[in-house]
Amino acid sequence: MEILNYLTPVNVVTYLLLFVRLSSFLAFIPFFNYSAIPMNVKAAFAFWLSILLYPLTPKFAYDINIATITLSILNEIAFAFFVGAALQLIFDVLKYAGEQISFVMGFTLANVIDPNAGTQTTIISQFFTWVAILVFISFGGDHLEILFLSKTLSMLPFGEFFSYHNVYEYFLIYMGKYFLLGVAMAFPIIAISLLGDIIFGMIMKTMPQFNLLVVGFPIKITISFMVLIAIISSLMRLFSNEMLQAFAAVMHFIG
């Protein structure tokens, strides 16, 4: 009977919005949004995490009616979508760099199925994605996301709308930056490949009998892989730094 005393309209609505926020975050933020995690596991995790975080959650301070609850639910989903898109953008930078590297290495047609998106992607992009996930877990990115979730409860109480102007400002600032970052990640291999094409062109001018298809492409791919092995640690370190900066930037735009 004591439990029934806590089932007031304010407490029920507060828990409902908390569950919506957490489940929406788990649907959109990197690592937790991967299809390899079953939906029932995500739902159970959101349910129990909502119970754990409920004591830290400010109560819903607005009139309780269908309109306010509906708008608040839509706002929570939009908020989670923005944060998820902002963080997923860093992973997409790596995928873009992987596509550029695959193109110059001649792997454009050697596609594999991305199990998360359900679409075809290049081999290098998929390799970068899985390595990035391992790096993300290694520096505690999944824990940072849970910590970030708990901080948003006080930074953006239920019923308050976050500034959509900040969303546009964030993506205007960082979209161009991340495009250049993707090009910079792929640049070492692009440069080596271009240099190799120039050298092979000079060899074919002096030695017309040189078989580029039989000799040139295997050499080019081998050199590209050697460069990739040499720079992969630097790329993942750059990924870690950019992901931490993305967390800080999202916190700034929310606050």
Label each residue of the chain as H, E or C: CHHHHHCCHHHHHHHHHHHHHHHHHHHHCCCCCCCCCCHHHHHHHHHHHHHHHHHHCCCCCCCCCHHHHHHHHHHHHHHHHHHHHHHHHHHHHHHHHHHHHHHHHCCCCCEEEECCCCEEEEHHHHHHHHHHHHHHHHCCHHHHHHHHHHHHHHHCCCCCCCCHHHHHHHHHHHHHHHHHHHHHHHHHHHHHHHHHHHHHHHHHHHCCCCCHHHHHHHHHHHHHHHHHHHHHHHHHHHHHHHHHHHHHHHHHHHC
Question: In the predicted model, what is the mean pLDDT of residues 204-213?
Answer: 73
Mean pLDDT value of segment 87-98: 88
pLDDT score for 177: 79
pLDDT of 111 strictly over 80: no
Q: What integer is the mean pLDDT of 48-76?
A: 86
Q: How confident is the model at residue 115 (pLDDT cuts 50, 70, 90)?
A: low
Q: What is the pLDDT of residue 164?
A: 63
Region of poorest pLDDT, from 28-37, 64-73, 163-172, 211-220: 163-172
Higher pLDDT residue, 25 or 203? 25
- pLDDT for res 60: 77
Any idea which residue has 């790329």 for tokens? Answer: 235
CB-count exposure of residue 168 (10 Å: 0-12, 13-18, 19+): exposed
With cut-offs at 50, 70 and 90, classify the pLDDT of residue 43: confident
CB 231 within 8 A of CB 188: yes
Kindly tell me if the per-residue pLDDT of 5 is higher than 70: no
Whether residue 167 has pLDDT greater than 80: no
| Lowest-confidence region among 139-143, 182-186, 213-217, 242-246 | 213-217
Residue 249 has pLDDT above 60, yes or no: yes
Q: Give 55's pLDDT tier (boundaries 50, 70, 90).
A: confident
Residue 108: per-residue pLDDT:
72
Domain map (residue ranges) of the chain? 2-254
Residue with tokens 């993305």: 246
Report the alpha-carbon distance of residue 237 to residue 12 in Å, rounded.
Answer: 44
Tell whether the model's pLDDT for residue 116 goes beyond 70.
no
Supply the pLDDT for residue 19.
92
Residue where the block lists tokens 């439990």 = 3
146 contact partners, CB below 8 Å, separation of at least 6: 49
The confidence band for 141, taking pLDDT boundaries of 50, 70 and 90, is: confident
Position 152 scores a pLDDT of 86
180: pLDDT confidence band, cut at 50, 70 and 90?
A: confident
For the record, the structure tokens of 135 come out as: 């790096």
